[in-house]
Structure 1
Amino acid sequence: MTIQDNDISSDLQQRVLESIANKQPLYIHGGNSKAFYGNTVDATPLDISPHTGIISYEPTELCVTLRAGTLLSDLEALLNNTNQILPFEPPQYTTETTIGGAIAAGISGPRRAYTGSVRDAILGVKIINGNGEIVSFGGQVMKNVAGYDLSRMMVRSQGTLGVILEVSLRLLPKPPKEITLTFESDQKSALQFFQESRLQQLPITASAWFNDQVYLRLSESETVLEQSKKKLGFDLLSDYDDFWTDIRDHQHHFFGRTDKPLWRLSLPPATKQISSVDDNQLIEWGGAQRWINSNAPANIIQNIATSNNGYAYMFKGDLPETPCFPLLDQPLMLLHKQLKRNMDPNGIFSPGRIYSGL
C-alpha cells in the first residue's frame, strides 16, 4: 500500500499567520465528510486533505504516526497488510474521510465500548496553534498549564483549537476470527441481556439492537468463538461484515430517513428503555449509545438524556434554535472558554463550530 508523502505544513502555517495578521477566521476541514456535524462556520476554508503521508509505522510497537490529511481508507488498508486495526473503528461517511477529521470529530464506531474511544487511542499530536506556531504534544510531556492532556483535547475539537498536522495512534492486533450472532428480542429484554453479558466474559467487540433483533459481534480464536456460540445458542449472521460496516458508516437503512432529526444519545449502559419518544431507535455499545429518529421537541430529547446522566446530540437535522451539541453547565463552559482563549487567542479557528461565540 503506497500513501503519497506530501508535507505542506509550512504552507498551512503561512496561511494561519496571514489569517492572524488579517484577522480573517478559518474554517478548518479535511475531506468534509462530517460537514453536517456542527454549526455552519462563516470563514475562509483551510483544507488539510493534501497534507498526507506516513511518518513512522512500527508494527511491532503497535503505533503509527501520520499526517492529518491521510485518507482513513488508505491507513486501514496499510494496517490490514500487517493484521492490525484502529481500536476505535472510526466511521467513513464518504471516501474522502481523513484521519485528521476522524480525530477532530471524535466519533467512534461499533468497537468503541469494548476496545476504547478515539481519545483512548491518541498518543500525541502536532498542531498549528492560535499564534501560528507548530507545537507537539505527546509522550510524557502532554500537559498544559492547567494540567490537561492537550493531545487528547484535540479529539472532538472540530478545528476550534488548532490545525492538526500529525497524529500518533495506538493500534491493536486484528482479531484472528470474527462471527456475529443474532436473536429476536424486544428492547427491554435486549438491554437486560447487554448488562448480563458484561459478567459472562464473552469476547464481544460490537453489539446492537434494532427492530426487535439483537446483534453481537464476537472476536477471538476459532476455538473460543465456537465455545461462545455453543454457550449462547444464538443464530449465526452470514453477512456480518457488511452489517457492521453499514452501522459504522451510517449506510444501514435506519440512518437513511430524512423526515425526522437524527439524535445521538450518550448514556450510562444500564439506562432503561426509552419509551417516551418515537420507537424508531437503534442501540449500540451495550446500551451506551442510542440513535433516535424523532420529531419530539429538542428539550424533551435533551431532558431524557440529562435525567439519565447522559447527553443528547442532534446528529443530523434542522431544528430552529437547536444546536448540534448539548449546552454545557456554567463551570464547564467557563473552562471551555478558557481553553479556547489559550489555544486560539485571536479567535480564528472555526469560530462558532461547536458553540456560538467561541
Structure 2
Amino acid sequence: MSTETRDADRGEELLAQVCTALATGTPLLIQGGGTKAFHGRLGRGALLDTRGHRGIVGYDPTELVVTARAGTLVAELDAVLDASGQMLAFEPAQFGGQATVGGMVAAGLSGPRRPWAGAVRDFVLGCRVISGHGKHLRFGGEVMKNVAGYDVSRLMAGSLGCLGLLTEVSLKVLPKPRSACTLRLDMDVPAALERFTEWGRQPLPITAACHDGDALMLRLEGGEGSVKAAREALGGEQASPAFWTALREFQLGFFAGPAPLWRISVANDSRPLLPDGVQLVDWGGAQRWLKTTAGSEEVRRAAAGAGGHASCFTPGACDSPLHPLPAVLMRYHRQLKAQLDPQGIFNPGRMYAGL
C-alpha cells in the first residue's frame, strides 16, 4: 500500500470515527501530541488521535504556500521550510518536538514575532474539516466560498477543536530574514515600555521585544544594512538568539515554579496594576506573563481595568481558564457551535462550560 493510499485511508478512518460518534451521541476528545493540555479547560470524551494522519501534502516555495495534514509534527514542517530558506512567521512552539500542525492551529498560540508578522489565523489560507454533520469539507484555498458566510478556515484557528475536526491546513509561509541580531539592554520595565512606544513610531526592523524581569531583549531582522544601522543606533550588547526559542517554548526560568501562570493581553502602552507576583513583558508590552498566587477574580479585574483580558495557563488553577465572555459574545459562540457541531460532540466544554 502506498503512502498516499495509507494517508487517505487514515482520513477515512477519522471520518468513520466521527460518524460513529454522531450515531451514538459520544463526545470526542480531539488530540494530537497532547502538548496544549494547559490551554483551556480539561477535555472529556472518547480520544480521537490525529497523529496517524500526517505528512506534507504540497509545498511550493515559489508560491509561499504549504499544505500539511493535521497530525504532521510542527518540527517536521519547520525543518522542510528551513531547508528552502522559509518559515512560519508566527513562530509556533514545537513543545519538545511533539506539537502537531492541527494542534498549532486549534490552539492559535503565536510566538514572539506575532505583533510584527501576524497571528496564526492570519496565515491560514484553507483547510479540510470533518464537520458535526459527518462530512469531510474543504474551505478556503482553491475553494473560495464558505458556508453560512463564515470564514471557516480562520474560525478554526484558536477554536480548540470545538467546531470540527481539522484534518488538513494550507498556510502562507515567508522567507527567512537575511540578517538577524539579538540585543540586550539594561533597563527596568517602565523604561522599556516607554521605549516600545517610542520605537513604534520609527522604521526599525524590530521583530521581537521582551523584558524578562532583568533586561530588555530585542530582536532585529531584515537586510544586513538595516539591521546593522539599527544595532548601532539602539546600543546594548549582543545576546544569543536562543532566548527567543526558550521564550516560545516556555523554557525560560520565569516559567518554572508552582505559582499559576497567567497571560494578560493589554494595549502595549498600558500600565495595568497587576497583583503581586513575577512578571515577564512580551510582544512589546501587549502580552504580560504573570506568575502569581492571586485569585482569578483579582487577576481579571486588573486586566479589565487596563482594557484587556486574562487567561490562566496552569491546568486546574481555576474553573474557567479562558477569560469569560460577555453575554452577547457567548451567544454568538453558541450559535456558531450549533451551526458547525449541532450535536456538540467535538471537545465539549474545552473552551467554556456548556459550549
**Fold agreement, TM-score > 0.5:** yes
Determine the structure 2 residue equivalent to 1:6.
7
Task: After superposition, give the CA deviation of every residue in 1:291-344 in whole Å (9 maximum; x if it has no partner).
Answer: 000111211111111222211000114335x31111110110000000000110
Pick the aligned partner of 1:348 from 338, 345, 348. 345
CA distance in 1, matches of 2:53, 2:314: 28
The 1:119/1:56 distance shift into structure 2, 3 A limit, reads same
Change (3 A) 1:158 1:213: same
1:141 aligned residue: 144
Distance 2:132 2:150 in 1: 17
Q: State the distance in 1 between where 2:245 and 2:349 align.
A: 32
Residue 104 (1) aligns with residue 103 (2): no
In 2, Cα distance between the equivalents of 1:70 and 1:276? 39
Aligned residue in 1 for 2:325: 328
Which piece of structure 1 moves more, 34-43 or 247-256?
Answer: 34-43
Does the Cα contact within 8 Å between 2:41 and 2:315 map onto a contact in 1?
no
Report SS of the residue matched to 1:60: coil
**1:48 pairs with 2:50:** yes
Identity percentage of aligned residues: 41
Give, as a single letter, the amino acid of the residue that structure 2 aligns with 1:342.
Q
Give the SS at the match of 2:320: coil
Q: How does 1:150-161 map to 2 (within 5 A)?
A: 150-161=152-163
Amino acid at match of 1:290: R
Residues in 1 aligned to 2:254 and 2:150: alpha-carbon distance in whole angstroms: 38
1:63-82 Cα offsets, whole Å, 9 max, x none, are: 11110100000000000010
What is aligned with 1:357?
Answer: 354
- Contact kept? 2:42, 2:315, Cα under 8 Å: no
Secondary structure of the residue that 1:126 maps to in structure 2? strand
CA distance in 1, matches of 2:328, 2:273: 32
The amino acid of 1:325's aligned partner reads L
Please report how far the alpha carbon of residue 256 of structure 1 lies from its aligned counterpart in structure 2 after TM superposition.
1.2
Query: How many aligned positions are there?
Result: 350
* TM-score after normalising by structure 2: 0.95
Q: Which residue of 2 aligns with 1:38?
A: 40
Inter-partner Cα distance in structure 2 for 1:64 and 1:211? 37
Cα distance in 2, alignment partners of residues 308 and 9 from structure 1: 45
One-letter amino acid of the structure 1 residue matched with residue 157 of structure 2: V
Matches of 1:326 and 1:156, distance apart in 2: 14
What code does the residue aligned with 2:268 have?
A: P
Unaligned 5+ residue runs, structure 2?
none
The residue number in structure 2 matching 1:81 is: 83
Provide Cα deviations, 1:27-61, integer angstroms capped at 9, x if missing partner.
00110011121212221000001101111111010
133-142 or 279-288, which moves further after superposition? Answer: 133-142
Which one-letter code corresponds to 2:353 in the other structure? Answer: S
Determine the structure 1 residue equivalent to 2:250. 250
The letter for the 2-side match of 1:324 is P
- What CA deviation, in whole Å up to 9, does each residue of 1:105-143 have, x standing for no partner? 000001111101001001011000001100111046353
Report the CA distance between 1:264 and its aligned residue.
0.2
Partner residue of 1:180? 182
**Shift, 1:275, TM fit:** 4.3
Instruction: Tell me how far apart the structure 1 counterparts of residues 154 and 324 of structure 2 sit (CA, whole Å).
Output: 21
Aligned residue for 1:101, secondary structure, equals helix
Which residue of structure 2 lines up, in the alignment, with residue 219 of structure 1? 221
User: Take 1:107 and 1:188, find their aligned partners in 2: how far apart are those partners?
Assistant: 26
